[in-house]
Amino acid sequence: MTTPRTIGVALLGLGNVGGGVVKLLADNAAAIEARLGARLEVRAIGVRDRDKKQRVVEVDHDLLVTDLDAAIKRDDIEIVCELIGGVTEARHAVMTAIAAGKQVVTANKALLAIHGTEIFAAAEAAGVDVYYEAAVCGGVPIIRVLREGLASDRVEAFWGIVNGTSNYILSTMTETRRPFADILADAQALGYAEADPALDIGGGDAAHKLCVLVRLCFGTALDVTEIPTDGIDRIEPIDLDYAAKFGFVVKPLVIARAHPDGQIEARVHPALVPANWLLADVAGAKNAVYVQSYALGPSLYYGAGAGMLPTAMSVVSDCIDIGRNIFARAAGAKRPAGPVLEPRPMLPLAEVRSKYYLRFGVVDAPGVLGRLMTILGAHSVSIAQVVQDAEAKPVSVVVVTHEAREGDVRAALTEIDALPVVREPARVIRIVG
Ligand code: HSE
């Protein structure tokens, strides 16, 4: 009997995801070995403090190292899993690994959104793989779907719920009306939120994931700072109520579309979606991506977008794929090509066309409603539905528009917000789906 081949793995980081990887490698050891034909063995775990008392999982203390560079370069390490998060230290670790000829797995969407072009180019030049299934939608294998399942297709557009924390907060608020801060604290305790939850709530995490998906779908590298990004922090429970009255639910979306003239439309914002649309049922911390592609048509990918084991599952599956590539290369196979990129202009936000939910807080006086409608009409914004709530303080006027140009809507709102009868700035939520 021959001893099975063993592939040495270094984990950089032993937080929620790193701990999950250790647990999954132990729990599913036999199945993983059978599928790969080799063992994945964690031989080093990079941590800040070797003597930290509380760990997510128990590990052999001898595996813990604080010199990450030395661990990366060790001869008995073939795959480096970057699970430290952040950008600066993670970039150094990944580039060091690539330069040392190591295969890389990363769960770091911020790193790939900001430095993806540099990292993939370096990997291609060095002839190593950089896999990143866990970077988008945690355990949902959307990267594999786009890279392999739809390899012969052409994605035209996609709509995604890619931040579990935001989805959890909005879903829980819709069901329970509990305060925002309490629900966020739950999401943090459940391990969904980023170390800096402002990235979740403000839409930054979703924008990073959108960049990663756009690169795969449309072969272009967006500047994440140029993606129009609104978080969920301006959504109030009253908007959830009005949304329900109009037959919608509020969901934190990323949206991207390749326009026939080459422009890329990409944006991150909460949106009203029809209550009977598939994405409306994606609740809690679940993620989903609804893809529209030329040959397949619509398809939906759904599952746990965050959390210890789902995310670790993607990391370990990447290690298995890379292990297979290592063996294939040994047999002379060519490694998969890196993404081919070309610059594509972004559709300016002012040119985006959408339906809108608008909520105005106004004084209750003759002619006020008429003035609002007149200004919207003068800017080519056509009204589909209007509801006035005279019990609210200030009085609420809620408008659902027909499809309009964003620039026209914004110009109308600037004019309306300046009216003396208006008591608070208009709330704007786009309607999608
Ligand atoms: N903070 C992220 C989320 C974790 O809530 O979706 C997964 O990237």
Residue 162 alpha carbon, nearest atom of ligand 1: 6
Q: Judge contact between 259 and 277, C-beta under 8 A.
A: no
With a 6 Å cutoff on the Cβ, whether 133 touches ligand 1 is no
Name the helix (H) or strand (E) containing 65. Answer: strand 64-65
pLDDT of residue 191: 83
Residue 107 alpha carbon, nearest atom of ligand 1: 8
Q: Which CATH homologous superfamily contains domain 349-431?
A: ACT domain (3.30.70.260)
Q: How far apart are CA 200 and CA 349, in angstroms?
A: 22
Ligand 1 center–CA 431 separation, angstroms: 24
Nearest alpha-carbon partner for 283 in 309, 269, 302: 302
Ordered mean pLDDT values, 10 residues apiece, the chain (433 residues): 83 96 97 96 97 94 98 98 97 98 97 96 91 97 96 97 96 91 90 89 97 95 97 92 95 98 97 97 97 98 95 98 87 51 93 97 94 98 94 92 98 98 96 94
Structure tokens at 275: 């209550």
Burial class of residue 227, CB neighbours in 10 A (0-12, 13-18, 19+): buried
Ligand 1 center–CA 349 separation, angstroms: 26
Catalytic residue chosen out of the listed positions 102, 109, 209, 251: 209
Q: Which residues contact 349 (CB under 8 A, 6 or more apart)?
A: 228, 267, 406, 407
φ, ψ dihedrals at 362, nearest 5°? -135, 165
Q: How many helices (H) and strands (E) does the chain have?
A: 14, 16
- pTM recorded for the entire structure: 0.95
Ligand 1 center–CA 289 separation, angstroms: 14
Ligand 1 center–CA 13 separation, angstroms: 17
Q: How far apart are CA 396 and CA 106, in angstroms?
A: 47
With a 6 Å cutoff on the Cβ, whether 165 touches ligand 1 is yes
With a 6 Å cutoff on the Cβ, whether 314 touches ligand 1 is no
Q: How far from 33 is each of 6, 26, 30, 41, 341, CA to CA, in Å?
A: 9, 11, 5, 10, 36
Residue 287 alpha carbon, nearest atom of ligand 1: 6
CATH of 5-138+308-330, picked from 3.40.640.10, 3.90.550.10, 3.40.50.720, 3.40.109.40, is: 3.40.50.720
pLDDT of residue 152: 95
pLDDT of residue 392: 85
Domain 143-304: CATH class, spelled out: alpha beta
Ligand 1 center–CA 412 separation, angstroms: 35
Express the helix, strand and coil content of the chain in percent, nearest 5 each: 40, 25, 35
Residue whose CA is at the smallest distance from ligand 1 atom 7: 306
Task: Parse the chain into domains and list their residue ranges.
Answer: 5-138+308-330, 143-304, 349-431
With a 6 Å cutoff on the Cβ, whether 192 touches ligand 1 is yes
pLDDT of residue 340: 65
pLDDT of residue 332: 45
Q: How far apart are CA 417 and CA 430, in angstroms?
A: 18
pLDDT of residue 336: 47
Nearest alpha-carbon partner for 411 in 388, 377, 387: 377
Residue 109 alpha carbon, nearest atom of ligand 1: 8
pLDDT of residue 330: 60
Structure tokens at 147: 């890279």
With a 6 Å cutoff on the Cβ, whether 306 touches ligand 1 is yes
Q: Which residues contact 95 (CB under 8 A, 6 or more apart)?
A: 118, 119, 122
Q: Is 209 a catalytic residue?
A: yes
